[in-house]
Amino acid sequence: MEKFNNKYRISSIRAPFWDYGWNAAYFITICTKNRQCWFGDVVDGKMDLSAMGHIANSCWNEIPHHFPFVELGVHVIMPNHVHGILIINKPKDVHREVETQNFASPPSQPPKMGKPKNQFAPQSQNLASIIRGFKIGVTKNARQIHPTFAWQSRFHDHIIRDDASYQRITEYIKNNPARWALPSSSSSSSR
């Protein structure tokens, strides 16, 4: 495990070759702390959202209002996690030479933007800032219902590189409630 300022820290799970502010489609999974089921239940293969589940759904749908360069793909609020596709689609400008397509190009050679900027620096207008805003919005409102609501500190992302992958992930997200089995009290997992 690496040390930073003489303290152990967990290495980033983000791709070191990628700037998460670049235009791309991203498959996101965000889990609640201890994977506690706050957002409702799956009934007959469909999500029955709780009040907190409706908050999470509403906050997800509001992302483009706070980040106008973001388009939403399909998403699902599950009992203890959220799956969704976020598409960063910033218009081209003088400083950005990244394609504005909906999918990430394989990194055969890095875009002509220099080194990725989001290393140990304030992050805005990138994937981390979008997820942070979503989590803050849900947390603020959910804690009015239950003061101990919390998220896991990290989230999982996958850079979507082509149409086939986009379609496969879309179907996975749509079918997620149908595959859900309530987790046992001793262990839980996101599906």
- Closest C-alpha to 156, from 11, 14, 33, 19: 14
Taking only the tens place, the pLDDT of each residue in 49-94 is: 999 999 999 999 999 999 999 999 999 999 999 999 999 999 875 3
Distance, in Å, from the CA atom of 93 to the CA atom of 64, rounded to the nearest integer, reads 20
Q: Give pLDDT, residue 47.
A: 97
- Tell if the pTM clears 0.85, that is, is over it: no
Give the burial class of 82: count Cβ atoms within 10 A of its Cβ; 0-12 exposed, 13-18 middle, 19 or more buried: buried
Distance CA 67, CA 59 (A): 12
Q: What is the DSSP letter of 37?
A: -
pLDDT, one tens digit per residue, over 149-174 is 999 999 999 999 999 999 999 999 99
**pLDDT of 94:** 34
Q: Are 176 and 76 in contact (CB under 8 A)?
A: yes
3-state secondary structure of 176: helix
